[in-house]
Amino acid sequence: MMIGEVAEKTGFSVHTLRYYEKIGLLPETLRDAGGRRVYGPDVLVWLEFVERLKQIGMPIRDRVRYAEMRAQGDSTISARRELLQTYRDDLAKRVASLSETLDVLDAKIATYETAAKCNGASR
């Protein structure tokens, strides 16, 4: 796979993919004779996971840290577990809080609908 295809499949832009490689979030890839990056299919799985880490609000620095540990192999497993655990617990709280906000929004929207109806009826 060339970089354009990876971009298309993952939703990251070509620029972003090169940027991710530069900061160490993606491993350095093989190059073809012309110096162009050639990716294996594994990168898609990894990028999908990175996208998840991004969506839970893990800052890029920690994503890089995680990527570096992953590259170092099994010796970093417990550190990786701890890192994920921290974000997992945080995420659980955030999901709870967001669910609550969902209810608040629904209530607010409901009052707006009532208000609109009353206006409509009275005029």
Partner DNA sequence: CCTTGACCTAGAGTACACTCTATCACCTAG
Partner DNA sequence: CTAGGTGATAGAGTGTACTCTAGGTCAAGG
Residues that bind DNA (CB under 7 A): 2-5, 7, 13-16, 18-19, 31, 33-37, 54, 59-61
- Tell me how far, at minimum, the Cβ of 28 lies from DNA, in Å: 9
Q: Would the CA dihedral through 39, 40, 42, 45 be positive or negative?
A: positive
Cα 52 to Cα 47, 58, 60: the distances in Å are 9, 9, 12
Cα 49 to Cα 10, 43, 44, 105: the distances in Å are 11, 10, 9, 30
Query: Alpha-carbon distance 39 to 46, whole Å?
Result: 12
Nearer to DNA, 19 or 80 (CB): 19
Q: Among a second copy, DNA, none, what does residue 56 contact (CB within 5–8 Å per kind)? A: a second copy
Q: Among DNA, a second copy, none, what does residue 14 contact (CB within 5–8 Å per kind)? A: DNA
- Tell me how far, at minimum, the Cβ of 55 lies from DNA, in Å: 10
Q: Among DNA, a second copy, none, what does residue 61 contact (CB within 5–8 Å per kind)? A: DNA
Nearer to DNA, 13 or 72 (CB): 13
* Number of CB atoms found within 10 A of residue 114's CB: 10
